[in-house]
């Protein structure tokens, strides 16, 4: 009987110690305000729950200094041209990404050709409606930006969708008017363009 009572006493003591340990380990949450309605992540810092949320990266650029008024004017012209053609490059990116998604789930060759034809017509309509009015410089920038956004040159895109002969023919016409469908984009070589794009707000 004494042994049984001793055992019961030990059990109660152990149980009470465990409860106290659990109570001590309970995390402390910050008090919510009246307008605190947004769920956020939190981290346990020695028993205190610290709320946090991930913010978007912020790029801070120093104010550009120009050596002369002519250099400033040239940069402003470049900025104007980049901002004018950037929406077209983004449109081409979205349209060809959609085309690739559609082709990936379409097995029929006839349907694939119809999808390519529809995409080609949409791009051509945009060219006939707006892009044909671009200057030579703007067209040169556009071919670079398409390579930047799509990851392939305009020549490669035409070759993939229309075939090698069509790409060759388009390139001949482009070269006559001062364009090069094989133009590639280099963030280091085209650093002024890259700087303009990064500060333009297109990716916010």
Write down the domain spans for the chain. Answer: 78-198
| Contact indicator for 47, 103 with CB cutoff of 8 Å | no
Output the pLDDT for position 126: 72
Buried/exposed code over 89-99 (b: 16+ C-beta within 10 A; e: otherwise): bbbbbebbeeb
| Cα-based distances in Å from 37 to 32, 33, 34, 202 | 9, 9, 8, 30
| Contact indicator for 144, 185 with CB cutoff of 8 Å | yes
Strands (E), the chain: 41-45, 48-52
Q: What is the DSSP string of 115-143?
A: HHHHHHHHHHHHHHHTGGG--HHHHHHHH
Angle at 47 between CA 41 and CA 49, to 5 degrees: 20
Angle at 33 between CA 32 and CA 37, to 5 degrees: 80
The rounded distance, in Å, linking the Cα atoms of 129 and 173 is: 19
Buried/exposed code over 67-84 (b: 16+ C-beta within 10 A; e: otherwise): eeeeeeeeeeebbebbee
Q: Smallest Cα–Cα separation from 147: which of 194, 195, 89?
A: 89
Output the pLDDT for position 204: 53
| Contact indicator for 41, 55 with CB cutoff of 8 Å | no
* Residue owning tokens 């050596």: 67
| Contact indicator for 154, 100 with CB cutoff of 8 Å | no
Output the pLDDT for position 19: 46
- Rounded to a whole number, what is the distance in angstroms from the first to the last CA of the chain? 77
For the chain of 204 residues, list the mean pLDDT of each consecutive stretch of 10.
53 50 60 71 76 75 83 93 90 85 86 84 72 80 86 76 73 70 83 86 64
Output the pLDDT for position 4: 53
Output the pLDDT for position 79: 93
* Residue owning tokens 């947004």: 38
31 backbone dihedrals φ, ψ, rounded to 5°: -70, 140
């Amino acid at each position: 009987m004494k042994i049984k009572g001793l055992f019961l006493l030990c059990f109660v003591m152990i149980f009470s110690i465990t409860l106290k340990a659990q109570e001590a380990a309970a995390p402390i949450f910050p008090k919510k305000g009246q307008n605190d309605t947004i769920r956020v992540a939190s981290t346990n810092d020695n028993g205190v729950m610290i709320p946090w949320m991930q913010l978007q990266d912020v790029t801070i650029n120093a104010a550009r200094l120009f050596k002369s008024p002519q250099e400033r004017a040239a940069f402003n012209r470049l900025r104007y041209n980049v901002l004018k053609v950037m929406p077209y490059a983004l449109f081409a990116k979205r349209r060809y990404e959609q085309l690739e998604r559609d082709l990936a789930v379409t097995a029929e060759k006839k349907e694939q050709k119809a999808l390519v034809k529809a995409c080609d017509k949409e791009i051509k309509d945009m060219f006939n409606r707006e892009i044909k009015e671009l200057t030579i410089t703007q067209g040169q920038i556009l071919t670079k930006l398409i390579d930047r956004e799509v990851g392939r040159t305009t020549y490669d895109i035409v070759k993939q969708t229309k075939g090698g002969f069509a790409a060759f023919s388009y390139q001949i016409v482009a070269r006559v008017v001062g364009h090069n469908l094989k133009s590639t984009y280099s963030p280091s070589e085209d650093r002024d363009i890259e700087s303009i794009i990064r500060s333009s707000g297109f990716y916010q």
